[in-house]
């Protein structure tokens, strides 16, 4: 089996590009090699800021061969009356690059046709890999591309060298004005190279030993973490590891060297959030905490070189961080001298979104909306939520948040505690922007959840009213994230609220705004939007699409209740008798759907029940309805669905022994009402007509 290594050497690539490129390269090489019929064992990818690497092992030496039959024109037009080939017949042979005597006539169900047996495949791995590289590299996806030195091609960063080795042979192809070779380059300073790679098996060793490069991001992360933990322990502390930052730092370096720096203890007077933001966001460094959980006056960073003068490097890092902390201290002291009333006055001069008024207007809307939501989920928090809504955006005009915008909300909570606001108000302000994404943590307090809901619903109501809905990939106001955040809070915190009621209440806050859409039309669009978000969210959790559609059909305004139905139906769909149940109840649903023009009420006249099967069905349905009502009251949908096993034999018997669409109008209407009653009752849980079995 053969071993192939491709390395694209580049100028320093942004760290955020690399994980996406690793996945894309693996997917594309796997797909194209499979399509070409070239067998392989494993496609692995790796990257550093200066290189993208594809490593394929277990490759076949040649493409698999197979015999195929190529059909040509009908025999009746391929030969003339004397049996000689016509232009059509000769043209087919020419198109296949064979002599006509290699063509034969094949009998098929549609008649006689010219045919040719051909052996395809058998091309070498080197040929296919060269074509694959040339097909993939120009079409890689980058958030931004560059063009350099007048070259026609574009790439994420300028390409400086290409290595392509199949065992000990160079795979010849050209890209970005460069020709593939057997040479690699190492760390820009510690092992620049170039180094000749005699065999693909030797690539990783040469890059590590001579080039001083740690190829895999996971290994670079482990090196940073291990050395960082050791250095922190020497100072009697532990590193405040932030996994997303560690991923980023590992993709900023090729040869990581963890380094400890320090700062003056006076800066520990600043809130920990400020210190960590200064270190993490601006310096790509990590804080240290002592055994008591408090921050220590140290930070950990990762250099991309084994310096001869580490003290000088450390001094440079410390100088830059000190300047940032001095700024932060100045902003902190200025903000501590200000009051919420001062900031609230300034909010009336800050525009929210065009026609939607100022940030001051927004806080007045949130004051009412947060109190309204509290009345539905936590009435005891009503006054606190009113206060939290009013103060929610005050920190946006503080000195600290103006400079460190990542701290919005958090600083509001910190300042609220300093200025004597209640713990509930402070928590709400601190957590109002959570969750910040699909995997972001939720608010830990109910107050934080309520204010977060109010903020997101206000954003959605305002933007949809103005027609500012997301289109394609464009979502400038992060409305998808807002809607997903609302769904996650309701679902994961088990809040029983009607999302339609909350959205309509949010719309009331914009009473003086001229809308592009009327309230009802905007609300309809909002509900469709929430439906899309819920479907995507549950699909992402592995719930089958048809289960989601069936469970959402009765309505999804109570998102938590809808989830209980989705979960119960998903469990029921895994039962052995699920398909049989679907066939039975879908048949009932389809009959009622076709009679949509009939005035059916579900009222059944017992005196019109003539056949034993319909009498049995009616008796069974009457017996199960009160049980269903009790289970529905406690949202025990799993037990409701399990009761279908009791009901289904009676329904099957009804269909087998009763002519529903009989000629007698009274009997037909009564039987339809019986089915209508069944479908209407089932419809509170799911629409079985959505399933396909």
Provide the CATH number for the domain formed by 2-62+124-209 in this structure.
3.30.70
The pLDDT assigned to 463 comes to 96
Give the pLDDT mean for 434-440: 89
Residue 455 — pLDDT band, cuts 50, 70, 90? very high
Give me the CATH topology for the region 341-539.
Hypothetical protein af1432 (1.10.3210)
Greatest mean pLDDT among 73-77, 89-93, 224-228 = 224-228
Q: Do the Cβ atoms of 532 and 673 come closer than 8 Å?
A: no
Over the stretch 564-595, which tens digit does the pLDDT of each residue have? 999 999 999 999 889 888 888 888 888 888 88
Give the pLDDT mean for 583-610: 86
Is pLDDT above 90 for 47?
Answer: yes
The pLDDT assigned to 682 comes to 86
Ranges of CATH 3.30.70 domains, the chain: 2-62+124-209
The pLDDT assigned to 282 comes to 87
Tokens coding 469:
């809905």
For domain 563-690, the question of CATH label 3.40.1130 is answered with no
The pLDDT assigned to 397 comes to 97
Tokens coding 245:
């930052």
The pLDDT assigned to 646 comes to 87
Cα 657 from chain centre? 51
The pLDDT assigned to 401 comes to 97
The pLDDT assigned to 618 comes to 92
Tokens coding 267:
């800066």
The pLDDT assigned to 378 comes to 96
Residue 117 — pLDDT band, cuts 50, 70, 90? confident
Is pLDDT above 90 for 52?
Answer: yes
Give the pLDDT mean for 204-211: 97
The pLDDT assigned to 323 comes to 96
DSSP string, 346-387: HHTTSBSSGGG-BHHHHHHHHHHHHHHHHHHH-GGGHHHHHH
- Cis preceding-peptide flag for 436 (omega within 30 of 0): no
Q: What percentage of the chain reaches a pLDDT higher than 70?
A: 100
Cα 399 from chain centre? 34
Over the stretch 464-521, which tens digit does the pLDDT of each residue have? 999 999 988 889 999 999 999 999 999 999 999 999 999 999 999 999 888 899 999 9
Ranges of CATH 1.10.3210 domains, the chain: 341-539
Over the stretch 6-41, which tens digit does the pLDDT of each residue have? 999 999 999 999 999 999 999 999 999 999 989 999
Residue 596 — pLDDT band, cuts 50, 70, 90? confident
Ranges of CATH 1.10.730 domains, the chain: 563-690
Give the pLDDT mean for 314-326: 96
Residue/partner pairs of 530-536 with CB below 8 Å, 24 or more apart = 530/483, 530/486, 530/487, 530/499, 530/556, 530/559, 531/556, 533/480, 533/483, 533/484, 533/487, 534/487, 534/559, 534/562
As a whole number of angstroms, the distance between CA 131 and CA 52 comes to 18
User: Can you point out the beta strands (E) in 97-220?
Assistant: 104-108, 111-120, 159-166, 169-170, 174-175, 178-179, 183-184, 195-196
Q: Residues near 517 by Cβ (< 8 Å), separated by ≥ 6?
A: 464, 465, 467, 525
């Amino acid at each position: 089996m053969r071993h192939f290594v491709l390395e694209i050497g580049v100028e320093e690539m942004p760290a955020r590009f690399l994980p996406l490129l690793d996945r894309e390269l693996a997917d594309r090489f796997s797909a194209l090699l499979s399509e070409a019929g070239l067998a392989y064992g494993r496609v692995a990818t790796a990257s550093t800021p200066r290189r993208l690497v594809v490593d394929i092992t277990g490759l076949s030496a040649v493409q698999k061969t197979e015999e195929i039959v190529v059909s040509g024109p009908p025999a009746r037009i391929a030969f003339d009356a004397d049996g000689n080939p016509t232009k059509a017949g000769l043209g087919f042979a020419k198109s296949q690059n064979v002599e006509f005597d290699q063509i034969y006539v094949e009998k098929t169900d549609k008649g006689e046709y010219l045919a040719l047996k051909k052996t395809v495949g058998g091309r070498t791995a080197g040929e296919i890999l060269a074509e694959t590289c040339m097909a993939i590299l120009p079409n890689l996806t980058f958030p931004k591309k560059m063009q350099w030195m007048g070259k026609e091609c574009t790439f994420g960063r300028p390409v400086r060298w290409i290595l392509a080795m199949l065992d000990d042979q160079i795979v010849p192809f050209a890209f970005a004005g460069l020709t593939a070779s057997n040479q690699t380059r190492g760390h820009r300073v510690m092992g620049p190279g170039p180094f000749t790679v005699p065999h693909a098996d030797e690539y990783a060793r040469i890059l590590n030993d001579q080039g001083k490069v740690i190829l895999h991001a996971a290994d670079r992360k482990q090196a940073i973490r291990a050395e960082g933990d050791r250095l922190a322990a020497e100072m009697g502390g532990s590193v405040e590891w932030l996994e997303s930052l560690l991923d980023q730092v590992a993709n900023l370096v090729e040869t990581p060297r963890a380094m400890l720096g320090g700062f003056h203890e006076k800066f520990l007077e600043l809130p920990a959030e400020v210190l960590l933001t200064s270190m993490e966001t601006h310096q790509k460094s990590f804080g240290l905490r002592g055994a008591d959980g408090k921050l220590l006056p140290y930070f950990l960073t990762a250099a991309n070189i084994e310096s001869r003068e580490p003290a000088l490097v450390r001094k440079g890092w410390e100088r830059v961080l000190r300047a940032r902390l001095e700024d932060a201290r100045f902003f902190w002291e200025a903000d501590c001298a200000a009051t919420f009333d001062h900031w609230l006055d300034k909010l009336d001069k800050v525009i929210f979104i065009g026609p939607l008024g100022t940030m001051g207007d927004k806080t007045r809307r949130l004051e009412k909306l947060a109190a309204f939501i509290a009345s539905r989920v936590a009435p005891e928090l009503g006054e606190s939520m009113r206060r939290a809504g009013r103060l929610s955006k005050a920190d946006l005009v503080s000195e600290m948040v103006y400079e460190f915008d990542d701290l919005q909300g958090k600083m509001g909570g910190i300042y609220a505690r300093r200025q004597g606001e209640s713990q509930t108000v402070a928590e709400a302000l601190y957590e109002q922007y959570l969750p910040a994404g699909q995997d972001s943590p939720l608010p830990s307090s109910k107050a934080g959840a309520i204010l977060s809901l109010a903020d997101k619903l206000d954003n959605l109501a305002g933007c949809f009213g103005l027609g500012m809905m997301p289109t394609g990939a464009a979502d400038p106001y992060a409305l998808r994230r807002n809607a997903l955040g609302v769904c996650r809070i309701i679902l994961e915190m088990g809040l029983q609220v009607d999302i339609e009621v909350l959205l309509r209440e949010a719309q009331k806050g914009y009473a003086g705004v001229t809308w592009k859409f009327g309230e009802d039309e905007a609300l309809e669009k909002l509900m469709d939007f929430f439906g899309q978000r819920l479907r995507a969210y549950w699909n992402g959790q592995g719930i089958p699409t048809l289960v989601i559609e069936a469970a959402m059909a009765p309505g999804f305004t109570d998102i938590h209740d809808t989830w209980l139905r989705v979960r119960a139906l998903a469990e029921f769909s895994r039962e052995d008798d699920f398909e049989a149940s679907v066939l039975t109840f879908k048949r009932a649903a389809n009959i009622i759907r076709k009679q949509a023009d009939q005035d059916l009420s579900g009222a059944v006249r017992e005196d019109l029940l003539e056949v034993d099967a319909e009498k049995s069905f009616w008796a069974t349905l009457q017996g199960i309805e009160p049980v269903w009502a009790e289970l529905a009251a406690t949202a025990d949908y799993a037990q409701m669905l399990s009761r279908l096993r009791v009901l289904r034999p009676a329904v099957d018997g009804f269909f087998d022994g009763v002519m529903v669409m009989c000629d007698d109008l009274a009997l037909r209407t009564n039987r339809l009402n019986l089915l209508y009653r069944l479908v209407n009752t089932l419809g509170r849980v799911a629409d079985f007509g959505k399933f396909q079995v």
